[in-house]
């Protein structure tokens, strides 16, 4: 004897979905996929896409928020999140840097409000960020 729950689940799995009319297919938009705003745009090989620029700006702003939080006197942040954002932003920078000029990447980082000290030294120097000059007093 087959359990009734098994028969019901079998019936649900074998039921075919309702057919979709042609006019409904035209109205469907593939939502839920990351980067759909730029679907259909073609970028010549070897250049940075608009989607990649948007991702870089997004990572820079997320990291800048956490960077500013940690610099506050009472700043408490999740260090795992901080390091994850730092690593992700630097990976994005290293990814686009060979395909674009350092000036473009530096503008995005500066627009987010990230100083030289917020980056690792090699990435900051690769995009041309200037180290902040210390005031007079012999400290440097």
Model confidence pLDDT, tens digit, residues 71-99: 888 878 888 999 999 999 999 999 999 99
Q: Report whether pLDDT(6) > 70.
A: no
HSE-up of residue 113 (Cα within 13 Å, Cβ side): 10
HSE-up of residue 129 (Cα within 13 Å, Cβ side): 23
Instruction: Tell me the pLDDT of the chain averaged across its residues.
Output: 76
pLDDT of residue 75: 78
* Higher-confidence position of 3 and 79: 79
The answer for residues whose C-beta is within 8 angstroms of residue 134's C-beta and 6 or more apart is 140
Domain boundaries along the sequence of the chain: 56-126
The rounded radius of gyration (Å) of the Cα atoms in the chain is 25
Segment 127-138 shows an average pLDDT of 68
- pTM, entire model: 0.63
> Do 136 and 103 form a contact (C-beta atoms < 8 A)?
no
């Amino acid at each position: 004897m087959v359990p009734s729950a098994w028969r019901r689940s079998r019936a649900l799995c074998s039921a075919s979905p309702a057919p979709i009319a042609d006019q409904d297919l035209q109205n469907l938009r593939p939502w839920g996929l990351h980067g759909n705003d730029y679907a259909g745009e073609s970028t010549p090989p070897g250049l940075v896409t608009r989607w990649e620029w948007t991702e870089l700006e997004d990572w820079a702003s997320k990291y800048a928020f956490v960077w500013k939080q940690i610099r506050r006197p009472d700043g408490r942040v999740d260090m795992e999140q901080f390091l994850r954002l730092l690593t992700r932003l630097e990976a994005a920078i290293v990814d686009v840097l060979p395909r674009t000029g350092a000036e473009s990447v530096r503008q995005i980082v500066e627009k987010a409000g990230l100083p030289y000290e917020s980056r690792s030294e090699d990435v900051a120097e690769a995009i041309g960020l200037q180290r902040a000059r210390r005031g007079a007093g012999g400290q440097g």
